[in-house]
A and B are shown apart, each in its own frame.
Chain A
Amino acid sequence: MKGIKLAYNFLRIGILNEFQYRANLYIQILQTFIALATGLIGLQLVFSQTTDLAGWSQPELLAVLGVFTIMGGIIGAAIQPNMERLMGEIREGTLDYALTKPADAQLLISVREFRLWQTVDVLTGFIILIIALNQMQWAVNLWAVFGFFSALLMGAMMIYCFWLIITSIAFWVIRVEEIANLFEGLYAAGRWPIGIYPNWLRYSLTFLVPVAFAISVPSEALTGRLTLETWLGALALTVFLFTVARIIWSFGLKNYSGASA
């Protein structure tokens, strides 16, 4: 209960903070628009040559693009800013200020930052999704809706755990920005159905970097491809990743001695 209140207060401060820089909203809208335009051009190019890609039709891949944009917005608004701040603080030793506060350290470092304007991506993603579902002549179906939202939530959770694991490595190795860079490259793979990738890449995208679960599974739910086994697998992997992230984080914290502050 205290945790939720804490997270809520940080969220409020984050939003107030963002309102100081309203011009950034316009830059964000432009960025979202550019990313969307390049995504749509890519789709258009592929479907000017073929009618389906590994069994996915154009409206279905439009839905994938929607989910990709939504998840990108969640990562950019709530996950990445927190982790980047953490990386910097570990390197400079200013993490001390967070650790001395009377709250669970992991909770605290995970909720401190919130970039409101990034949620433009989330909104845009949902709009694309609605357009795509309309093109698919989609009928409301309880399992699909439940599967979609639960998969989206689990996907965000897995990406968070992945980021926390990578960031915790900063307790031992200082330069982890390059790994973050690698994540951004691999995340772009989620724009396409995971089935088209060669096996080794598909497995890395599923278990090493949980892009497959974050984007493909919610998309599968909406396009009637989600099986109960996959859903349970996602749940199991979420719990597993969360436990691993928690363990690595605590180990790293023990290793932290405060560089200077």
Chain B
Amino acid sequence: MKRYFDIYRSMMKLSILEQWQYPVANYFYMIGMIAEPVIYMVVWSTVANQQGGVVGGYTPGQFAAYYIVWTLVRSMNVVFTPYGWEWRIRQGQLSMSLMRPLHPLHSDVAYFAGWKVVVILLWLPLAFALTLIFKPDLNPTWIEIVVFFFAIWFAYLIRTMTLTLIGLVTFWTTRVSALFELYFAAELILSGRLVPLSLMPAWIQDFAWFFPFQWAFGFPIESLVGNMTPNELLRGLGMQLAWIIFGVILVNIIWKFAIRKFSAVGG
């Protein structure tokens, strides 16, 4: 246990130092990401205003809160891309990390977790600016803030597991872009990224229940923005944990098969 703790601490420290060197590139990336929620926010605020101030239980101020918190959750959702696995295999990067006496996934989790620390720091001024412009209606309680803190990190872990899983498909075939596109489209609709899930038709909400997407996106946002009871908040965290555990088990099983398919290239 102590060994893992030390490894994670050093790897996170390294990635924090590395990413802190590129604040401008990080910022451009984050600003590019902001266009998407701002568009949704404007569209839905317009609809809410036309409908007398509320649509699907959201006022324009609550939409603003939802989509501003969205930007942080989206940043927490950025993990090693499934497209990257092909590159890793082709470039021989994987051979190198297989030599180390540690599951290669640990370095991904630690590296991106360290990066997240930088991202959160850079996000604060951005959130401040967005708050000034769009005037969100956000009054979280203490328990919501605490739950939110854990929820975004759990979201990060869920998405790491899901994207690693579909990244592992590259071990069998390299024609993966179609599959990934389908996956990302499903995620967009079922996660609460496009609109809060409560605005979706009931059958989509029921359908979304079978996927991890909303626990990596919609739930963290709503834990802070929505008026959830402490009971609902804890149940949400429980669902997140369940998906993380399920994801870890699945990744481990598939990894065992995938690695047999792997023949080293370069390195």
Binding site for B on A (CB under 8 A): 23, 26-27, 30-31, 34, 37-38, 41-42, 45-46, 48-50, 52-54, 175, 178-179, 181-182, 184-186, 188-189, 191-192, 196-198, 201
Contacts of B34 in A (CB 8 A): 185
Q: Does B31 contact A (CB under 8 A)?
A: yes
Check if A27 sits within 8 Å of B177, measured CB to CB.
yes
Q: Decide: A175 near B39, CB < 8 A? Known: A185-B33, A185-B34.
A: no
A54 and B43 CA atoms in complex are apart in Å by: 9
Q: Are A53 and B194 in contact, with the CB atoms below 8 A?
A: no
**Nearest residue in A to B188 (C-beta to C-beta)?**
A38
Cα distance A182–B175 in the bound complex, in angstroms:
28
Task: Assess the A196–B188 pair: CB atoms within 8 A.
Answer: no
CB-based contact A182/B35 at 8 Å: yes
CB-based contact A30/B38 at 8 Å: no
Inter-chain contacts of A37 with B (CB < 8 A): 185
B199 to chain A, nearest CB (A): 6
The interface residues of chain B lying within 8 Å CB-to-CB of A196 are 42-43, 46
Size band of the interface chain B makes with A: 20 to 34
Q: How far is the CB of A140 from chain B (nearest CB, A)?
A: 31
Closest to A31 in B: B181
- Give chain B interface residues in 169-190, CB to chain A under 8 Å: 175, 177-178, 181-182, 185, 188-189
Whether B207 sits at the interface, judged by CB under 8 Å, is no
Instruction: Report which residue of B32, B34, B199 has the largest number of chain A beta carbons within 10 angstroms of its beta carbon.
Output: B32
The 8 nearest A-B residue pairs measured at CB: A185-B35, A178-B28, A181-B32, A182-B32, A34-B185, A196-B46, A185-B32, A49-B55
Residue of B nearest to A51 (CB): B50
Q: Could you tell me the distance between the alpha carbons of A129 and B68 in the complex, rounded to whole angstroms?
A: 34
Question: Do A46 and B28 form a contact, CB below 8 Å, given A38-B188, A196-B42, A197-B42?
Answer: no
B195 adjacent to chain A (CB < 8 Å):
yes
Q: How far is the CA of A201 from the CA of B42 in the complex (A)?
A: 10
Considering the chains assembled together, what is the distance between the CA atoms of A35 and B167 in angstroms?
A: 22
Whole-angstrom distance between the Cβ of A190 and the nearest chain B Cβ: 10
A53, A179, A184, A191: the one contacting B47 at CB < 8 Å is: A53
| Nearest CB of B to A158, in Å | 19
CB distance from B185 to the nearest CB of A (A): 5
Check if B125 is an interface residue, CB within 8 A of chain A: no
Q: Does B36 contact A (CB under 8 A)?
A: yes
Give the residues in chain A near B201, CB-CB below 8 Å: 48
Which chain B positions have C-beta within 8 A of A41?
189, 194
The residue in chain A whose Cβ has the minimal distance to the Cβ of B46 is: A196
